Structure 1
Amino acid sequence: MMRFDPFREIEELTQRMDRAFSSGGAQSSRLAPPVDVHEDEQGLELTLDLPGVQPDGIQIEAENQTLTVQAERKYARSEGRTAHRVERAYGTFTRTFSVPSKYDLTKVEADFDHGTLTLRVPRSEAAQKRAISVRSGGQVAGSKTLDAGQEQAQPEANPSAETAQSE
């Protein structure tokens, strides 16, 4: 299921306007690269297409639950050479994501391979699922389950208590 992104249509319209008013597509313009966003129990994974971009030309910023990726692909114009058609996208690639607070932007990992940038944003420690131990009489008794009509469950971690109750 895809989430509705109200800014996606604005980005696409901006791209079309940039292309329409640039001279042959060779001028610098702002582009929103396509992205895939996946989530699992470890966190988020964002995959962006940045064709023709060098790894050292990629800027990734994380601030106030916002993740921004920016890169530039320049058009190399040579003297004495005529361009009859320029259809590939050139300019600045920019994409900004609002990341929920359950993810830790201080631990973002980025990998760039053959024009594909993969960002991994792990879940924050506070958002991790964990088991909670239950104490009984000041001792850790393990997890307990109460059935309807039963006053107290049997402790799992104290074998002497089981012997005392069964006698």
Structure 2
Amino acid sequence: MFASSFNRGDNELMRGAWSPSVDIFENQDQIVLEAELPGMKSEDVNISIENNVLTLHGERKFEKKDEGDNFHRVERSYGSFSRSFTLPPTVSSENANAEFENGVLRLTLAKREESKPRRIEIKAGGGSQAKTIETKTENAKA
């Protein structure tokens, strides 16, 4: 009924390492990391920041629903994962916030106040007119 390739059981997929997809973006106030972790719970994931390196690691376990189940194909990846990202110096790890919803981990890291754009007023020497300019630090790419 099923081709023989269905019956071989790709054990590597059930016990091997995998790597979740991650998006990293920034706006004026923060850097945001979103990781796709379908089928996982927040307690399955650990987040650490050490020496300006953010590390996500965890494990997605293969769970048989019933001992009588005979899988013909297993294509979803299971096992341990670890992803590390060097944070730019503009980020403050002190104000990190993590949320987990619908299989997506969203980690928000606030930028340091000194790295945010600010306005500096320039007063004309002796005149009553003042000019305001906007300054920005270079955005470090995540």
The one-letter code of the counterpart of 1:70 is: H
Unaligned 5+ segments in structure 2 are: 1-9, 131-142
CA radius of gyration, larger in: 1
The one-letter code of the counterpart of 1:154 is: S
In the alignment, what sits opposite 2:71? 83
Q: Among residues 89, 99, 104, which one is paired with 1:111 in the alignment?
A: 99
CA shift, 1:152, in A, is: 2.6
Matches within 5 A, 1:68-79: 68-77=55-64, 78-79=66-67
Q: In the alignment, is residue 64 of structure 1 matched against residue 55 of structure 2?
A: no
Q: Among residues 100, 112, 127, which one is paired with 1:153 in the alignment?
A: 127
Q: Among residues 101, 108, 123, which one is paired with 2:111 in the alignment?
A: 123
Unaligned 5+ segments in structure 1 are: 1-21, 133-142, 157-167
Q: Which has the higher contact order (CA 8 A, sep 6+)?
A: 2
Structure with greater strand share of residues: 2
Q: How many residues align?
A: 120
CA RMSD, aligned part only? 2.0
Instruction: Confirm or deny: 8 A CA contact 1:53 1:71 kept in the other structure.
Output: no
Q: In the alignment, is residue 144 of structure 1 matched against residue 131 of structure 2?
A: no
Instruction: Give the structure-2-normalised TM-score.
Output: 0.74
In percent, how many aligned pairs have the same letter?
Answer: 31
Instruction: Confirm or deny: 8 A CA contact 2:123 2:129 kept in the other structure.
Output: no
Distance 2:119 2:94 in 1: 25
